[in-house]
Amino acid sequence: MQNNIAITPELVAQHGLKPDEYKRILDLIGREPTLTELGIFSAMWNEHCSYKSSRLHLKELPTKAPWVIQGPGENAGVIDIGDGLACVFKMESHNHPSYIEPYQGAATGVGGILRDVFTMGARPIATLNALRFGSPDHPKTRHLVSGVVAGIGGYGNSFGVPTVGGQMGFHTRYDGNILVNAMAVGIAKADEIFYAKATGVGNPIVYLGSKTGRDGIHGATMASAAFDDAAEEKRPTVQVGDPFAEKLLLEACRELMQTGAVIAIQDMGAAGLTSSAVEMGAKGDLGIELDLDKVPCRETGMTAYEMMLSESQERMLMVLQPGKEKEAEAIFIKWGLDFAIIGKTTDTLRFVIKQHGEVMADLPIKELGDQAPLYDRPFVETPKRPAIDPKSVTPLMGNANAIVKLMGSPDFASKRWVWEQYDHLILGNTVQSPGGDAAVVRLGDGPRGLALTSDVTPRYCEADPFEGGKQAVAEAYRNIIAVGGTPRAITDNLNFGNPERPDYMGQLVYCIRGLGDACKALDFPVVSGNVSLYNETNGRGILPTPTVGGVGVVDDVSKTATLAFKAAGEFILLIGETKGWLGSSAWLATIAGREEGAPPPVDLEAEKKHGAFISSLIQDGHATSCHDLSDGGLAIALAEMALAGNMGAKIDKLPEGLPNHAALFGEDQARYLVTVKDQAMAAIILRRASSAGVPALMLGKTGGQELTLPGESPISLERLKKAHEDWLPSYVAGEI
C-alpha cells in the first residue's frame, strides 16, 4: 500500500471526515496529507477521540471538590478517600463491538477500562457494568445476553478482579444497538499517581505488552484494502481480548512503576499507537518521533497506516527515565511480554512517523488534538409531557398480581444468572455482593471501604432528558447512602443517538444539564466519563442513556446496611414523600403497556436532606435494613427486601389519599425504606424525622412467609421468588 497516493474525496469520506474537516487539515499542514496522515487525523478527529459534538456541553459538568485529585482529562478520574489512599475510576462503552461479536466485544471493553485504571498506577479492586439489550422477543437478544455476560466474566474472572455490580435492562429501542458500559475501580497511594504527560527531550519511548496485529482497523480497513494488491480474505474488525496478557501487563507495569523509571504512561485504547503517542507529547509540549520498524508485530507486512490505526489489545506506551531501559526490559521479559524502544521525545512539537527509513507522517502534534473540530450542533428540547393524575389510571389487574408480574418482568427479574457468572468474591473483600443497592468493597484489612453503583432510568430520560439526567445521579447517590456510604464522585457514560439530529442532540444537552445540576446540588462531582453517540437501531435512536457510575466512601465496613429483612417483628418505616407519581413508571409501562407521562421530578434538596437522615440512622446503628425506592416504587422495594431476607411483612398502612396502585407503584423520588428493631425505636425515629423535617411513615411489621398489603390478597414469598428467579434462566435457555 502506497503512502503517498492522491487523497480523493471518496477516501476522505471513507475516513469519516467531512469536506470542511478535510479543508481544515489542508490549512493546518499546508499540503495534501499522506495516507498515514489521513488515517491519523481520522482517528484523532472522530467523535470518540475528539468529543467534537459533546465537548462544549461537557464543560458544564462540575468536576471539582476538595477531594478530587484528578478530574476529566486523564485516563481515569482520581479522588482522595482518606488514609493516604486514592480511588481511581472510570466507565467506558463498548457498544458497537459488542453487537458484532458479543463475547469479544464485551471482554475487550472490560480489558480497556481496566487498563485505563492501572495505567494511572492503581491496582483494580472492582468492576461494574451497565448493560442494555433489545426486546427479549428480538431474535438476537438471547444470543447477545449470553455472549456479553460470558465475555465480561471471561475477562474479569481471569484477570482476577471481582465484578461486584451493574445493571441490565431491556427495551425495543436497543434492538439493533445494545449498550455495554464497563466501569473499573482501582486503589493507589494518593501520592503515587501516574499521568500521561511526557517530560524531557530525548527520552526513550517504549512499547510494552502484546504484539500489534491488524485488529479493529474499523471502517478504515476498507479504504486500505482497496489499495492492497494482495487480495486477502476480508479481515474481521473485531479485537480479541487476552485477559492473561493483561494480568501480566498489570503486574509488570506495577513492578516497573516501583522502580521510579516511568515518566509518563498511556494505554493504547481506541486509535492505539496514534492517540496514545499524541496525547503524551501534546500534554507535555513535546514532539514525538516513532520508528515503526521497532514495533513488535504479530503479522508480517504491516504498513505504517495499519500500525498507527491498529486497536490490538493489551498494549502500553511509556516514556522512561533515560538509563532505565535495561531494568525495565528485564521486568517485562520476566513477565513474558514484549518490550521495545520505538522512539523518543523531541523538542520539535512534531509527530514524526518513520518506517523503512522513510518519513510516513510528519504532523504538528498539538494541533492534532487542540485543533480538532468542535461543533455547536443545533438542538431542540424534548417537548414536555403532561403529568399523569394517579386517579385517572384504572389498574388492569389486581395489585398483588401486578407485583408478581413486575417482579418477574425482564427489567426487575433477578439477575443472579448474570452475576453468578462473575467472580464477585475474589480478593476476599466483597462485603456486599451484587443484588443489593450498592456493592461494598473493603479496602485491604479495613475498616474503610467503598460503595459502588451504576444507575440510570432511560425511560425517564426519554420522557424528560433534564429530569432523567438528574434522576440518574440522584439514584446513584441514594444507592450509596442506602448501604451506609458517603457519596463522593461519579463517572458517566453518555450513550445517545445521532447528534446531527437536533432532537437527539437536545437529549444529550439536557441530560448533561440534568446531571450537572444534580452533581452540583449533591456535591457529587464528575471525575471521568465517556461519550458514545450515533447509537441507533433502524434509523431510530436508542433511549437516551446517561449511565452514572457512583463511588462512595464507607468509613467502617462493619457499619453498613443491607436490604434484606433481618428478623420477624421489626418495624418498617417509609422515609420521604409519596404522591403516587405514575408518569413514565415501570408499572404503567409493564402492566398498562403505556410509556407515557412526565417522569417523577427530582427534588435535589429533599434528596440531600433525606440522604443525610438515612446516613445518620445507619451510622447510629438504628437501621436493621435499608433500601432506596426507585422504579417499581414501594411495592417492588418491599418485595425485594422480603426476598433478600426470606422474610415476609404485613403492611397495615399506605401513604394516605391515594388509590392503592398509586401508593404502591408510584415512583416519587428521594424515598427509602428502613426497618428498626422495635416499636420504641420506631417512635424515636419518627420523632427524629419530624424534627428534621423529613416525611416518615410507619407501614407495618416484618414476619411470616407472605407479603400482605392492605386490602390485597397476601402474596406468598414462594410465588414471588419463583417469578423473580425463574425468568432470566428460562429466557436464556430458550424455554420462554
Ligand X SMILES: Nc1ncnc2c1ncn2[C@@H]1O[C@H](COP(=O)(O)OP(=O)(O)O)[C@@H](O)[C@H]1O
Residues facing 490 on adjacent strands: 526, 550
* DSSP annotation string for 443-485: -TTSS-EEEEEEE--HHHHHH-HHHHHHHHHHHHHHHHHHHT-
- Residue selected from 102, 136, 151, 269 as contacting Mg ion according to rule CB under 5 A: 269
| Site for ligand X contains 93 (CB under 6 A) | no
- Residue selected from 442, 470, 478, 622 as contacting another protein according to rule CB under 8 A: 442
| Site for ligand X contains 311 (CB under 6 A) | no
CB of 297 to another protein, least distance (A): 11
CA-CA distance, 652 to 540, in Å (whole number)?
46
Residue 88 or 263 having the CB closest to Mg ion: 88
Mask of contacts with ligand X, 41-60, x by CB under 6 A? --------x--------x--
CB of 676 to ligand X, least distance (A): 39
Sheet holding 123-133, edge to edge: 68-70, 77-82, 85-93, 179-189, 123-133, 163-170
CB of 626 to another protein, least distance (A): 17
C-alpha distances in Å from residue 416, one per residue of 125, 185, 615, 720, 726 = 21, 22, 28, 15, 10
Strands 85-93 and 179-189, bridge-based pairing: antiparallel
- Residue selected from 190, 238, 240, 270 as contacting ligand X according to rule CB under 6 A: 270
CA-CA distance, 486 to 470, in Å (whole number)?
18
Taking contact as CB under 5 A, which single stretch among the options 269-277, 407-415, 586-594, 701-709 is the one that binds Mg ion? 269-277
Taking contact as CB under 8 A, which single stretch among the options 146-154, 364-372, 500-508, 622-630 is the one that binds another protein? 146-154
Binding at 233: pick from Mg ion, ligand X, another protein, none (beta carbon under 5-8 Å per type): another protein
CB of 260 to ligand X, least distance (A): 24
Residue 75 or 399 having the CB closest to Mg ion: 75
CA-CA distance, 112 to 269, in Å (whole number)?
6
CB of 562 to Mg ion, least distance (A): 34
Binding at 610: pick from another protein, Mg ion, ligand X, none (beta carbon under 5-8 Å per type): none
| Site for another protein contains 127 (CB under 8 A) | no
Looking at 620-678, list the stretches that DSSP marks H as alpha helix, in order from N- to C-terminal side. Answer: 633-645, 660-665
| Site for ligand X contains 269 (CB under 6 A) | yes
CB of 687 to ligand X, least distance (A): 42
Taking contact as CB under 6 A, which single stretch among the options 70-78, 144-152, 175-183, 462-470 is the one that binds ligand X? 70-78
Taking contact as CB under 6 A, which single stretch among the options 8-16, 523-531, 607-615, 660-668 is the one that binds ligand X? 523-531
Binding at 674: pick from another protein, ligand X, Mg ion, none (beta carbon under 5-8 Å per type): none
Residue 116 or 607 having the CB closest to Mg ion: 116
Residue 249 or 407 having the CB closest to ligand X: 249
C-alpha distances in Å from residue 255, one per residue of 122, 210, 261, 442 = 12, 17, 10, 24
- Residue selected from 166, 529, 632, 633 as contacting ligand X according to rule CB under 6 A: 529
CA-CA distance, 536 to 176, in Å (whole number)?
7
Asked if 637 contacts 626 with a C-beta cutoff of 8 angstroms, the reply is: no
State yes or no: is 94 an active-site residue. yes
Asked if 163 contacts 156 with a C-beta cutoff of 8 angstroms, the reply is: yes
* DSSP annotation string for 8-73: -HHHHHHTT--HHHHHHHHHHHSSPPPHHHHHHHHHHTSHHHH-TTTHHHHTTS----TTEEE-BT
| Site for ligand X contains 354 (CB under 6 A) | no
Asked if 406 contacts 635 with a C-beta cutoff of 8 angstroms, the reply is: yes
| Site for Mg ion contains 116 (CB under 5 A) | yes
Residues facing 180 on adjacent strands: 131
Residue 431 or 489 having the CB closest to another protein: 431
Binding at 492: pick from Mg ion, ligand X, another protein, none (beta carbon under 5-8 Å per type): ligand X
Query: What are the φ and ψ backbone dihedral angles of 435, each rounded to 5 degrees?
Result: 115, -15
Burial annotation 621-647 (CB, 10 A radius, 16+ → b, else e): ebbbbbbbbbbbbbbbbbbbbbbbbeb
CA-CA distance, 304 to 307, in Å (whole number)?
5
Residue 242 or 712 having the CB closest to another protein: 242
| Site for Mg ion contains 549 (CB under 5 A) | no
Residue 311 or 712 having the CB closest to ligand X: 311
Taking contact as CB under 6 A, which single stretch among the options 23-31, 72-80, 448-456, 577-585 is the one that binds ligand X? 72-80
| Site for ligand X contains 75 (CB under 6 A) | yes
State yes or no: is 48 an active-site residue. yes
- Residue selected from 494, 533, 589, 723 as contacting ligand X according to rule CB under 6 A: 494
Binding at 312: pick from another protein, Mg ion, ligand X, none (beta carbon under 5-8 Å per type): another protein
Nearest CA to 707 among 401, 410, 435?
401
CA-CA distance, 543 to 463, in Å (whole number)?
9
Query: What's the length of the chain?
Result: 736
Q: Which of 94, 424, 622, 627 is catalytic?
A: 94
- Residue selected from 74, 215, 423, 607 as contacting ligand X according to rule CB under 6 A: 74
Q: Please state, as a whole number, how many other Cβ atoms lie within 10 Å of the Cβ of residue 41.
A: 25
Residues 6 or more apart whose Cβ sits within 8 Å of residue 47: 53, 499, 531, 533, 534
Residue 160 or 364 having the CB closest to another protein: 160
Q: Which of 15, 48, 622, 661 is catalytic?
A: 48
| Site for another protein contains 233 (CB under 8 A) | yes
Kind plus residue range of the DSSP H or E element containing 376: none
- Residue selected from 58, 208, 245, 461 as contacting another protein according to rule CB under 8 A: 245
Taking contact as CB under 5 A, which single stretch among the options 116-124, 294-302, 477-485, 698-706 is the one that binds Mg ion? 116-124
CB of 678 to ligand X, least distance (A): 46
Asked if 650 contacts 660 with a C-beta cutoff of 8 angstroms, the reply is: no
Asked if 484 contacts 451 with a C-beta cutoff of 8 angstroms, the reply is: yes
| Site for another protein contains 165 (CB under 8 A) | no
DSSP reduced 3-state for 284:
coil
Residue 441 or 515 having the CB closest to another protein: 441
Kind plus residue range of the DSSP H or E element containing 419: helix 416-419
Question: First and final CA of the chain: distance in angstroms?
Answer: 52
Judged on CB neighbours under 10 Å (0-12, 13-18, 19+), 695 is middle
CB of 630 to ligand X, least distance (A): 22
Asked if 731 contacts 410 with a C-beta cutoff of 8 angstroms, the reply is: yes
Mask of contacts with ligand X, 100-119, x by CB under 6 A? ----------------x---
Judged on CB neighbours under 10 Å (0-12, 13-18, 19+), 673 is buried
Contact positions vs another protein (CB under 8 A): 100-101, 103-104, 150, 153-154, 157-160, 210, 213-215, 232-233, 235-236, 238-245, 247-248, 298-299, 312-313, 335-336, 419-431, 442, 446, 557-558, 734
Contact positions vs ligand X (CB under 6 A): 49, 58, 61, 72-75, 90, 92, 116, 269-270, 492, 494, 526, 528-531
Please give the positions annotated as active site.
Answer: 48, 94
Contact positions vs Mg ion (CB under 5 A): 75, 116, 269
